[in-house]
Amino acid sequence: MPINIALTVFDVCMLVLVIGFLACWLAVLPREEGDYIETGLVRMLGATVALLTLSSAGILVSRVLELDGGSWSQLPTALPLALKVTHYGHVWLWRIPALLLLWLSWGWCLRHRHHTWAAWLMVIGAAGIALTRSETGHPADQGDFTFGVWVDWVHLLSGAVWVGSLFGMSLAIFPKLRRAGESAGLHSALIFQRLSTLSGVALAAILVTGIYTAIHELGRLAALWTTSYGVTLDIKLSIMLLMLLVGAHNRYLKLPRLLRAAGRPAPRSWFARLIPGIRVAGSEATGTMPIVRSCARAVLVESVLGLAVIGAASVLLHGMPPVEVPKNMAGMSISQANQIFRWQYGQLSTDAALCLYIDPAIMSI
């Protein structure tokens, strides 16, 4: 089970990075930035697509091994069967054209200068892969393409935009801005302002969809502190609150000072009026670079916290929501339920066990 969770974390991280890098490219970088930032971002995007391809294969193998009792010897038989007759396999197969679209579009972007349309094709491919995650998660227990699935999909996309764009800034954009020095001061301010706006929109979508999902998966308020699923959700929310505080500090304290240092108008925010004693590191120095370095450190902190959020979310993906736990299975993990199933149906063939367990349609017969 820990290996499966680790693979899920890896897969979700790669998906988040792909979506976040695309969000930085299309919504954060000004169009006039040119190649000096964009080229590095495109190359990093290719690396994340490669890792996403690897993680896609890894989670398929791990899922089959989990359902087949961890038998590597049965994998050549169980893998084609899982793809052919199981709900998970049918959904996972949609990753193949989505990944192909990502690769083809990225190759075009790498070789041609006018490639905004290809970047949007990459967005479609990444959104398709995100949908395969929602279609194989808890919301899909009520059926394919239900309202809950679409809510989970929007939640995943908005979370990926928020956290992934932070990684894009930390790994690809801030290093280039810092090397450019004071000549990139205005661009740094505009880019940081765009990032703040994008994060605010994404956070609004996260809150709305997250509240809806929590209500439907918890069933009752007490589940937040009486179930392992609820406690894990509490941890995730606590980390997100820390991210929100860091983001508010960036938006309402650092951003206005960066804009003023770059010669742009920046009205004094209500947050700064509320806590007038807080100062931004480097704000008293001349020039924009000290503030840019301070912003970069804060965004890096947010990125690390975002990684912790992804870890907590991956644990939730492998847990059983309280509303789905039968009374005689309270507190039982999916792994334990799998063990009971394999014990009860141990006399069945691997093929029959896979068919019965994985496909909800067959299970309902």
Compute the mean pLDDT over every residue in the chain, rounded to the nearest whole number.
Answer: 81
Q: Which domain holds residue 301?
A: 2-363
* 165 in Cβ contact with 41 (< 8 Å): no
* CA distances to 19, 24, 97, 149, 346 from 46, in Å: 12, 14, 17, 28, 44
Q: How many CB atoms lie within 10 A of CB 290?
A: 18
Cα dist from 215 to 211, 223, 235, 318, 322, whole Å: 6, 10, 17, 18, 11
From the list 44, 14, 199, 17, the residue with the least C-alpha distance to 109 is: 44
Tokens matching residue 67: 């359902």
Highest mean pLDDT among 127-141, 264-278, 349-363: 127-141
Residues of the chain above pLDDT 70, percent: 79
Structure confidence at residue 324 (pLDDT): 73
pLDDT by residue (tens digit) across 61-91?
Answer: 888 887 766 677 778 888 888 888 888 889 9
Give residue-wise pLDDT tens across range 289-328. 888 888 999 999 999 999 999 999 988 888 888 887 664 4
Rounded mean pLDDT, 228-241: 92
What pLDDT is attached to residue 57?
A: 92
**Residue predicted with more confidence, 18 or 139:** 18
The band of 353, judged by pLDDT with boundaries at 50, 70 and 90, is very low
What's the pLDDT at 275? Answer: 54
Closest by Cα among 245, 63, 43, 27 to 157: 27
Q: What DSSP designation does 136 have?
A: T
The more confident residue out of 14 and 286 is 14
Q: What is the mean pLDDT of residues 183-196?
A: 85
Amino acid symbol at 346: G
Asked if residue 33 has pLDDT above 60, the reply is: no
> Would the pLDDT of 155 be above 90?
yes
pLDDT, residue 307, reads 92
Non-local CB neighbours of 182 within 8 Å, separated by 6+ positions = 287, 288, 289
Per the structure, the count of domains in the chain is: 1
Give the residue among 211, 214, 2, 4 at the shortest CA–CA distance from 88: 4
Q: What's the DSSP call for residue 263?
A: T
pLDDT at residue 285, as a whole number: 47
pLDDT for the residue 204: 94
Q: Report the pLDDT value the prediction gives residue 348, as an integer from 0 to 100.
A: 37
Reduced to 3 states, what is the DSSP secondary structure of residue 37?
helix
Q: What is the structure's pLDDT at 351?
A: 44
Cα separation, 69 vs 89, in Å, equals 17
Rounded-to-5 percentages of helix, strand, coil across the chain: 80, 0, 20
Given this model, what pLDDT does residue 147 score?
92
Which residues, including other chains, have CB under 8 Å from residue 172's CB and lie 6 or more apart? 21, 24, 37, 40, 41, 44
For residue 276, what pLDDT is reported? Answer: 52
What was the pLDDT predicted at 110?
82
Q: pLDDT digits over 199-219, tens only?
A: 999 999 999 999 999 888 888
